[in-house]
Amino acid sequence: MQVLKERKTTREFAPGKLRPQLLSNLLWAAFGINRPDGKRTAPSAMNWQEIDIYIAMAEGLFLYDAKENRLDPVLEQDIRQATGSQTFVATAPLNLIYVADLSKAGSGPETELFTAADVGFISQNVYLFCASENLATVVRGSIDRVSLSKAMKLRPNQKIILAQTVGYPKK
Ligand SMILES: Cc1cc2nc3c(=O)[nH]c(=O)nc-3n(C[C@H](O)[C@H](O)[C@H](O)COP(=O)(O)O)c2cc1C
């Protein structure tokens, strides 16, 4: 009840980085594995588990590996600025980018709806985690997907759905 009461969007971020354990907990809350059969903290249509979480930080771009509970390096460049059209994205410590791997999803008429819904659950997990840890967050659809896909060097069957900025609130 308390985290639901405190869930909210914030668009002002202090520049401080998240401690590694806090980042690890955030990603586990977002879409970590919570059962021995490999299922996750968020539901996914037909259990596709098709959403990958990329993390753009000053140190570069990383991919969350839920099985190993680890961040895999993808790019060394700081691409935070390319993750959205709002100015705070360039300086906030963390931008999560939710990317559907269409090779793991079905090819029916509902695929687009389902991948978007799957991201919604993950994003809400992040919102609730942020409420519990007094972090600031905003989910974002306002993204130049063509240029961000290029900056991230995504494959053609990877589709950017939404992004979400996280950081400490500005005092
Ligand atoms: C699918 C989706 C896309 C959104 N895109 C943006 C965005 O691009 N930029 C932004 O500042 N907020 C974005 N928001 C946040 C909404 O503006 C925000 O949730 C709404 O104003 C309600 O505020 P609250 O989250 O504090 O309840 C988005 C929210 C959703 C669900």
Predicted local distance difference test score (pLDDT) of residue 54 = 98
Q: Which residues, in sequence order, are bridge partners of residue 40? A: 33
Amino acid letter, 55: I
pLDDT at 171: 82
For tokens 């959205």, name the residue: 84
Residues forming beta bridges with residue 65, ordered by sequence position: 70
The predicted structure's pLDDT at residue 167: 98
For ligand 1, is residue 11 a contact (CB within 6 Å)? Answer: yes
Q: What is the mean pLDDT of residues 61-66?
A: 98
pLDDT value, residue 84: 98
Cα 84 to ligand 1 centre (Å): 13
**Is residue 136 in contact with ligand 1, taking CB distance under 6 Å?**
no
Q: What is the pLDDT of residue 154?
A: 98
> Could you give the CA distance from residue 71 to residue 85 in angstroms, rounded to a whole number?
25
The number of C-alpha atoms within 13 Å of 109 and in the hemisphere containing its C-beta is 0
Q: Report pLDDT digits (tens) over 84-94.
A: 999 999 999 99
Residue 38 Cβ < 6 Å to ligand 1: no
For residues 167 and 117, give the distance between their C-alpha atoms in angstroms, rounded to a whole number: 24
Q: How much is the pTM?
A: 0.98
Beta carbon of 153 within 6 Å of any ligand 1 atom: no
Cα 24 to ligand 1 centre (Å): 24
Which amino acid does the sequence have at 148? Answer: L
| Rounded distance between C-alpha atoms, residue 161 and residue 141, angstroms | 7
Closest residue (by CA) to atom 6 of ligand 1? 140
Instruction: State which of 118, 138, 161 you would mutate to test the pocket of ligand 1, scoring each by most atoms of that ligand within 8 A of its C-beta.
Output: 138
Nearest to 152 by CA among 74, 98, 93, 84: 74
User: Average pLDDT in the 25-52 region?
Assistant: 98
Sign of the CA dihedral running 71, 104, 126, 9:
positive
pLDDT, mean of residues 77-83? 98
The pick from 4, 9, 112, 145 for probing ligand 1's pocket by mutation, whose C-beta has the most ligand atoms within 8 angstroms, reads: 9
Section 118-142 average pLDDT? 98
- Taking the C-alpha atoms of residue 96 and residue 57, their distance in angstroms, rounded to an integer, is 9
Ligand 1 centroid from CA 171, angstroms: 21
The pLDDT value recorded for residue 73 is: 98
| CA nearest to 159, candidates 27, 48, 50 | 50
